[in-house]
Amino acid sequence: MAVTNDIVRTWRRPRQVMRDLLAQGRREDRAIVYLMVSCFLIFVAQWPRLRRVAEGYEPSPWPAEMNFEGMLTYTFFSAVIVLPLVMYGVAGLSHLVAKLFGGKGGWFGARLALFWTLLATSPLFLFYGLVRGLIGPGAQATLVGGVGAVVFLFIWVQSLREAESGS
């Protein structure tokens, strides 16, 4: 089945989709592709906000002489190089926590649950990026970010529960 169809299905039945993904066997190549595509989309989602900062509509967290391309460079490094490493650590910790609560899955299942959740919720990252870029910080961005965080946590917990069920 196409990844886009699985993303749509995940929003309705995350455990079923995770079960289907796990049934395809241990495929580290597939898991890392999910992670890298997710991280790249998170990077792309930052572009509107970075343009807003570069144009002076928002205060810049970078030095005053930093231009848009410099902001993109640092954001690329953090989103596409550092974030995947952090996600491996988070997946490992989630597996250890699941073990404390009786989880019977493996390390791969925990990684796949997190990496798939990142990819499945990437439309929310992109939407949040548009809101931040077009409207700026405020109630709208907070609402979209909050809804996105709740949806991400829900899908991740459901996916992790399925991965750690040991079935």
Q: Is the pLDDT of residue 116 over 90?
A: yes
Query: Is 15:158 a contact under the CB 8 Å cutoff?
Result: yes
Q: Cα 64 vs. chain centroid, distance in angstroms?
A: 30
pLDDT tens, residue by residue, 18-73: 999 888 888 888 999 999 999 999 999 999 999 988 888 888 887 878 888 888 99
Query: Is 31:112 a contact under the CB 8 Å cutoff?
Result: yes
Task: Name the residue type at position 51.
Answer: R
Annotated domain spans of the chain = 27-163
Angstrom distance (rounded) from CA 18 to CA 138: 35
Computed over every residue of the chain, the mean pLDDT equals 90
Sign of CA dihedral 162, 163, 164, 167: positive
Of 11-25, 116-130, 147-161, the range with the lowest mean pLDDT is 11-25
**pLDDT mean over 122-136:** 92
